[in-house]
């Protein structure tokens, strides 16, 4: 039988153990467990097979680890960089149908304001998806949740991204507000009731 489970005992990871061996261990719902392919540990009650084995009930655990301002800023930079690359490709493709240097420059400038529009639309759907974040956030292992740590709806994601307008004015104070907030929420997070969390570490 495969030995798949690493179990944290007295603050130290032990194992791997197979499923049958777990039956003889003193595992409680809050015991940290990890399986192959997982980036971090989860509590035992978060595994369906362990809930069935020990009779645990699933408990929604409020997030305790929040993404810092620099992580969120880097994620945004990555997202805009990717969108800018897409913009360049689209512009170069369109140049095949636009003649004249002046017309090409005008066309390129005309499309430039669409980048933040696409960022808004992409952010709404990406943060409400199963991945709970844009490519930038996913690369940094951070994601958007509600106050209980659950996936947000499209409507809540829309409110959050629209609220970024408030965070920008005046002088990006809404973003800097995260330094004053215990959960490192920006104004748009407070307005929408959302969090940006990172993977917990043992």
The per-residue pLDDT for 149 is: 86
Whether 91 and 143 map to the same domain: the answer is yes
Measured between alpha carbons, how far is 196 from 74 in angstroms, rounded to an integer? 13
Query: Whole-model pTM?
Result: 0.71
Whether 77 and 35 map to the same domain: the answer is no
The per-residue pLDDT for 4 is: 86
Whether 184 and 90 map to the same domain: the answer is yes
Q: Is residue 64 included in any domain, yes or no? A: no
Whether 116 and 187 map to the same domain: the answer is yes
Whether 97 and 184 map to the same domain: the answer is yes
The per-residue pLDDT for 143 is: 95
> How many independent structural domains does the chain possess?
2
Is there a contact between 125 and 174 (Cβ–Cβ < 8 Å)? Answer: no
Is there a contact between 42 and 36 (Cβ–Cβ < 8 Å)? Answer: no
Q: Is residue 103 included in any domain, yes or no? A: yes
The per-residue pLDDT for 153 is: 95
The per-residue pLDDT for 202 is: 45
Backbone φ and ψ of 168, nearest 5°? -75, -40
Chain centre to alpha carbon of residue 171: 25
Whether 92 and 134 map to the same domain: the answer is yes
Whether 89 and 145 map to the same domain: the answer is yes
Q: Give average pLDDT by consecutive 10-residue segment, the chain, 202 residues.
A: 82 88 87 86 87 81 85 96 94 86 88 92 96 95 91 95 89 90 93 89 50
Contacts made by residues 105-110, CB under 8 angstroms, sequence distance 24+: none
Is there a contact between 112 and 160 (Cβ–Cβ < 8 Å)? Answer: no
Give the SS3 label for residue 3.
coil
Measured between alpha carbons, how far is 77 from 71 in angstroms, rounded to an integer? 10
Whether 182 and 88 map to the same domain: the answer is yes
The Cβ of residue 13 has, within 10 Å, a number of other Cβ atoms equal to 14
The per-residue pLDDT for 199 is: 77
Structure-token pair, residue 175: 């973003």
Q: Is residue 61 included in any domain, yes or no? A: no
Domain coverage including residue 37: 5-54
Q: Is residue 62 included in any domain, yes or no? A: no
């Amino acid at each position: 039988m495969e030995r798949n489970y690493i179990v944290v005992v007295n603050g130290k990871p032990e194992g791997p153990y197979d499923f049958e061996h777990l039956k003889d261990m003193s595992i409680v719902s809050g015991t940290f467990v990890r399986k192959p392919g997982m980036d971090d540990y989860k509590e035992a009650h978060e595994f369906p097979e362990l809930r069935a084995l020990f009779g645990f009930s699933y408990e929604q655990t409020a997030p305790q680890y929040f993404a810092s301002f620099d992580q969120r800023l880097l994620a945004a930079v990555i997202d805009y960089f990717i969108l800018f690359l897409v913009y360049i490709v689209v512009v170069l493709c369109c140049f095949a149908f636009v003649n004249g240097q002046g017309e090409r420059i005008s066309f390129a400038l005309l499309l430039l304001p669409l980048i933040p529009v696409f960022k808004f639309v992409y952010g709404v759907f990406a943060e409400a998806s199963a991945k709970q974040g844009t490519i930038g956030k996913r690369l940094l292992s951070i994601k958007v949740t509600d106050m209980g740590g659950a996936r947000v709806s499209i409507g809540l994601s829309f409110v959050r991204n629209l609220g970024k307008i408030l965070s920008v004015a005046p002088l990006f104070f809404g973003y800097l507000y995260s330094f004053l907030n215990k959960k490192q929420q920006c104004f748009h997070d407070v307005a929408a009731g959302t969090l940006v969390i990172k993977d917990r570490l043992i």
